[in-house]
Structure 1
Amino acid sequence: MKTTELEHRGTATIGSAYYPTLVAVFTGLVLISNVAATKGVAFGPLLTDGGFIVFPLTYVIGDVLSEVYGFKAARRAVIIGFSMQALAVLVLWATVRLPAAPDYANQDALATTVESITGLAVAGLAGFLVGQLVNAWVVVRIKQRTKERHLWARLLGSTVVGQFSDTLVFCAIAAPIIGFGNMGSFAVYAALGWIYKTAVEAAVLPVTYRVIAFIKRREPTYQPAV
């Protein structure tokens, strides 16, 4: 077997239409969730933020990227998402500082919103970078041992570790910004976030299985790990 074939065994190259589509959806979800996270949300004693609606789906796509394309390709997607979120913050700050039109009455509200988004973006970027890279690394490391078997172990194992890393880093920075400043609120916020996001990814595991199988079948360069 040629060296290049060995290098790509168990992964596909990123030249097809599927990889950029997944990266585009991944980046969009990151941007949406970080804006939604500016609002703290309380369901009785349970504390979270608006990002809970879509953020867990970024880990589903991260798992697909890691499983099909490997760690380097998943890392590239994380860096793209990271860069677009940073660009969004820079554009928002530039917008705040541009001269307002004479009849524009929302300058103070915009400045307050952008300040919140910036703080949460920093938290989101830090958590996202750590969590997604850990998630991708765990998927790939387990796959090196299990090959094409036990996909559920790769997906769930990476979720537990990656979501814990992400949630801990994000909540440590974001909790005071959202208004969960005391230790009790922080503990509830962090624990609920980790449990919820892990549960969501576990619940959609059948969908993740189907997406991975679909892409593996249609990626002409994918070669199963043996």
Structure 2
Amino acid sequence: MGVNTESESPKSGRATFVPVQRSLYPMLVALFVVVFIISNITATKGVQIGPLVTDGAFFLFPVAYILGDVLSECFGFRAARQAIYIGFGAMLLAIFSFLIAIALPAADFYPNQHEFATTLGVVPQIVLASLSGYLVGQLLNSWTLIKIKERTGEKSLWARLLGSTVIGELGDTILFCLIAASVIGISTTADALNYIAVGFVWKVSLEVVLLPVTYVVISWVKKRENYA
């Protein structure tokens, strides 16, 4: 990573710059935010694979929780919380940008206004469900990981990762479903429970499968950051 080493005082008259710290944190936050935004866009497509009915973000959204685990484990709750808030703000900016772009009059030579609006248009209730689930789920995920780490120290990383995933994903899935249920066609308690159970089991299972990858990433980040 390139680092600006300019240290001249502004009073010297020479061009000066704020030093860039040698840390992976900004890169991880950027990746965390990008994954969250892309997931919310691809989630607008319904997907059916055999008997499994899901959305286009099923393979990507859990990655946001893995990155949240990495941020929490390596940098602490305050740094992870900051990343979560940045992601929340970035998604709000994306939503408002989509709405403005859709509302702007299409040029005569642009034939895809309807498709553009259909793809990027948002349903307020879905947006509320997604943002609420993300915010609560990620904060629970990070908080749980840190609380377990305070008890176990550096031991039992697997317990922190799995425990935080279970709590975070459960909060996220329940909140999203309760808010979005009527919009996505869920009208009975049985259907709601089924939707919550399937979504929760899938997300947690995927993160369990990717646990070795999370271990490797955390180890690499700690080494790069000279973690003591």
Q: TM-score, normalised by structure 1?
A: 0.85
SS in 2 for 1:42: strand
Deviations 1:154-191 (CA, angstroms, capped at 9, x unpaired): 00000000000011111223343334444443332221
Residue of structure 2 in register with 1:166 after alignment: 172
The one of 123, 127, 130 equivalent to 2:129 is 123
- Whether contact under 8 Å (1:70, 1:140) holds in the other structure is yes
Alignment of 1:196 onto 2:196: no
Residue 35 of structure 2 corresponds to residue 25 of structure 1: no
1:97 equivalent to 2:113? Answer: no
2:163 counterpart (150, 157, 174): 157
CA RMSD of aligned residues (A): 2.0
The change in CA–CA distance for 1:180 and 1:45 in structure 2 (over 3 A counts) is farther
The structure, 1 or 2, with the larger RCO (C-alpha pairs under 8 Å, 6+ apart) is 1
Distance 1:177 1:36 in 2: 17
SS, match of residue 56 in structure 1: helix
| CA–CA distance in structure 2, aligned partners of residues 179 and 15 of structure 1 | 49
Structure exhibiting the larger radius of gyration computed from Cα positions: 2
User: Which residue matches 1:214?
Assistant: 220
Q: 1:131 offset after TM fit, Å?
A: 0.3
AA partner of residue 56 (structure 2): G
**Structure 1 residue 98, shift from structure 2 partner:** 0.8
Match of 2:73 in 1: 67
Q: Which has the higher helix share?
A: 1
Where do residues 40-51 of structure 1 align in structure 2 (5 Å cutoff)? 40-51=46-57
* Stretches of structure 1 lacking an aligned partner (at least 5 in a row): 1-13
Percent identical across equivalent pairs? 49
Give runs of ≥4 in structure 1 deviating > 4 Å.
none
TM-aligned CA distance change 1:39 to 1:174, over 3 Å: farther
Are the equivalent residues in 1 in contact too, given 2:81–2:142 (CA < 8 A)?
yes
Task: Please tell me whether the aligned partners of residues 173 and 199 of structure 2 are also in contact (alpha carbons under 8 angstroms).
Answer: yes
Shift of 1:39: 2.1
User: What's the TM-score, normalizing by structure 2?
Assistant: 0.84
Q: SS of the counterpart of 1:51?
A: coil
Note the alpha carbon deviations across 1:29-77, whole angstroms, 9 max, x for none: 1011111111233345533222111000111110010000000000011
How far apart in 1 are the matches of 2:194 and 2:129?
17
Q: 1:111 to 1:181 in 2, by over 3 A?
A: farther
Residue 118 of structure 1 deviates from its aligned partner by 5.0
Residues 118-172 of structure 1 deviation map (CA, whole Å, 9 limit, x = unaligned): 5433222110100000000001001111110111100000000000001111122
1:79 is aligned to 2:85: yes
CA contact under 8 A between 2:95 and 2:122: conserved in structure 1?
no
Inter-CA distance 119–218: structure 2 relative to 1 (3 Å threshold)? same
